[in-house]
Chain A
Amino acid sequence: MLNTAKEIIEVCAERGIRIYDLVIEEELRRGNTEEKIRAGIDEVIEVMKQSSTQNLTQSETTTYGMIDGFAKRTFDYANNGEPIVGPFLARAMARAFSTSEVNASMGKIVAAPTAGSSGIMPAMLSSVIEKYDFDATTLQNGFITSIGIGQIIAKYATFAGAEGGCQAECGAASAMAASALVEMLGGTVEQTLHAASITLINVLGLVCDPIAGLVQYPCTFRNASGVINAFISADLALAGVESIVPFDEVVIAMGEVGNSMSEALRETGLGGLAGSKTGQRIRRDFLKEGE
């Protein structure tokens, strides 16, 4: 099992291996085979490609229509407008919206690591496919690396919005995406961990406040900003920018921040945007219909 950042870096250096090798070794110990792991990743990648592109040219109908059409609108703007962040990043946000809409309308997605944060890895994936000519093995290695990052987050903190806030869901997904990027782009093991650290640092304290408990609003925005967070953090790490605090300690800090957050801000539908006048009105209407 993956332990501290220091141990991972040392083991990888000593044995000349990468984070994904450690993840595969752990799976072999569980009785899995490398062939099955890679086939499983390919299956995940196919579902993600579909969910992140499905709604770029059409608009899905979700419960309450809070987020309908965001993907298509953003994708059109990315391609025909003059996005401040440039077409590439705007398209990435549109792709994150696409999966969020698919998720909210009961379409097929991959919980990566959760359903609420399921837009981030696919948006990263479809964007790198657009920009780079990676072969299947490189993509698999990136994804397996991101699993290792997720395992560390689960080990020292949590993925559950109800326990850790949105930092634990979209934060974890973004850190996973950032680590995949650095691996695919040939960064060092240290850089992979720095990218994950920077990503989480950027969202420490991010609350989980979905209106009416539905996985739509503001979840969808945090999927869009999450993939951008992954891009900038990966770029900073590849540029040589470092996190002084090692990744495992960042994760522990995230866990502590989550614990010290008011329960109202942890997926209870009571605080944050869910607690706003509008959020509460939508919640009342929704619960009435559920009766």
Chain B
Amino acid sequence: MTEYSAFEVMGPIMVGPSSSHTAGACKIANVAADIVTEGYTAVDFQLHGSFAHTYKGHGTDRALVGGILGFEPDDDRIKRSFELADEAGLSYKFTQTNLGDKFHPNTVKLVFSYPNKDDEFIIGSSIGGGAMKIVDIGGIPIEFNGEYSTILLKYPEQKGVISFVSTQLSTHNYNIESLNTSKDKLTNVVTLTVELDQPLTDELQETILNDPRFSLAKYVEVDHA
């Protein structure tokens, strides 16, 4: 039994033609662009499963580029995203790939290229009804669905990090919706995600994200309806 909220039934407002192939794809790219380091000049969209076969007809390609440009799934500009990307000097390409059986059929690996540093990549799956989840950040498995404002942190394993973050949040009266860690066994690098029920203040962003222990520190804000 699935219980849907009101605007899951009557919505989302989106550009067509498919909530999973268009709206979900746009959201993946939109969130991925927020997570990676700024300054990339090219994006390679590696399409897996059903995405690989149907992306043109469903406008998945335009939705992905639109998402990178910061468009939400209901933005009319998605249809013109190729020319808008050209104007912005962003190059992009689409390749078909097979990421393996463990990934959802509607999955894309976004590889961001930079002029002066190594590539970064994000993998996201469109899981139906316009919903998506980011499942991998730079090789580290993760589950992040973009429903809540989220802090994403990476750091070499050490004590005290989680307590530092949760103390900062509780001192400032935040409710933590969820807190998840995953550790890369080979490198001992931990990925920590913290979902919040309200946007993080600039001041608190500064305190948490600028802590020198983090090799990657990102905050992805979600509009809390």
Contacts and interface: CB of A to CB of B under 8 A. Distances in A.
A114 B22 CA distance: 12
Interface residues of B, number: 38
B53 to A, nearest CB: 5
B124 interface: no
A113 B10 contact: yes
Interface in A204-241: 212-216
Contacts of A146: 10
B18 interface: yes
Contacts of A23: 6
Interface in B55-101: 55-59, 62, 74, 76, 78-79, 96
Given A111-B19, A160-B128, A213-B57, A44 B13 contact: yes
Contact of A112 (B2, B11, B16, B96): B11
Nearest to B4: A154
A267 to B, nearest CB: 11
Interface in B1-19: 1-7, 9-19
Contact of B14 (A109, A147, A154): A109
A53 interface: no
Contacts, number: 136
Interface stretch (A97-105, A187-195, A258-266): A97-105
Contacts of B78: 106
Contacts of A121: 10
A107 B9 CA distance: 20
Given A41-B10, A155-B2, A106 B16 contact: yes
A103 B4 contact: no
Q: Give the interface size bracket for A toward B.
A: 35 or more
Nearest to B130: A111
Interface string A120-146: 010000000000000000000001101
Contacts of A63: 56-57
Given A107-B76, A289-B56, A290-B56, A115 B6 contact: no
Interface of A, helix, strand, loop or mixed by DSSP: helix
B83 to A, nearest CB: 14
B225 interface: yes
B58 to A, nearest CB: 7
Contact of B2 (A109, A144, A154, A213): A154
Interface in A159-185: 159-160, 176
Nearest to B56: A290
A146 B4 CA distance: 13
Contact of A147 (B6, B16, B55): B6
Contacts of A156: 1
A1 to B, nearest CB: 6
A92 interface: no
B55 A143 contact: no
Contact of B53 (A43, A47, A150, A290): A290
30 contacts: A27-B6, A40-B225, A43-B13, A47-B74, A63-B57, A64-B57, A102-B16, A106-B59, A106-B78, A106-B79, A107-B79, A108-B14, A108-B76, A109-B14, A109-B16, A110-B10, A110-B12, A115-B16, A146-B10, A150-B4, A154-B9, A155-B3, A156-B1, A213-B58, A214-B58, A286-B57, A290-B52, A290-B55, A290-B57, A291-B96
Given A47-B13, A108-B14, 6 more contacts: A40-B11, A108-B15, A112-B10, A115-B18, A116-B18, A151-B3
Interface of B: 1-7, 9-19, 22-23, 52-59, 62, 74, 76, 78-79, 96, 128-130, 225
